[in-house]
Structure 1
């Protein structure tokens, strides 16, 4: 039987960081054991970053600041949005699309975007941020390419091990969870 996070009220009555991390690690172990496969479509949409542990290096350097993981403050919205590419072919090994990662704090809005590729069998999402927009109170302060912009063919041809990636181990209608390339664990909840 597959464990879920659905019984947790992550918006109003959050469990302790230790309890949530324990649940996430159990879900990760279960996904590996069951060789769970997720559909790309389950990731599509807007998700709010709710909980992080940081990378293994960050955990070592930050010590008690991150501890066993940390909920993100509600006054900061860190969100990720996945969308499928118009020419995405579901019959191929890698599903293609785009990612938009944004941070909103007060009037400041920072967003980076770029291409993604997802392999359902291994639950891996490779990504690259190639464009940035900075706004203050709706006024665009800066927009431009990062590292020369997007060469999607080069991105899609590059091995996943040479890219940043997430290894997803939990997906539902309300939450997704993954381990990043650096070893940290993250939990996102659905944005209404």
Structure 2
């Protein structure tokens, strides 16, 4: 059910997807689907949790520290080139979530807040480990890294043959860090 919902939300968006369509594609009645997910919003929450749980499993129990976390982000971008449906789902739903009353708006606000905090924390750790200068504006660098990753996803979805997300993310991270490295 969730795999079909992921595909449907990714290709049609939340507002243009119907429970009836998802249920039919899953070989269920709409009532059967609603037995598992009480509403379309609950199904959307299940889809978003599935995506995040998948990401957390790949991260493992201990996330890399300092600049190693940024290497992990680049590797995540590389893995995303093998998961077009998940990338499409994220791109569509995150963009849709900026509209008034969208049921995923709180999820994406919290997700971006958490992601910014993780990247900023890794940059602070890099300062503590002597990998970068202590005067690093970690919030600005974190925002730039996330913006590049998300923007590249949209470009890649529209022209996968023209965009190497991992290489461009690596180059951007390296460029951002070039002026922050310790001597």
TM-score by length of 2: 0.28
When you count helix as a share of all residues, which structure comes out higher? Answer: 2
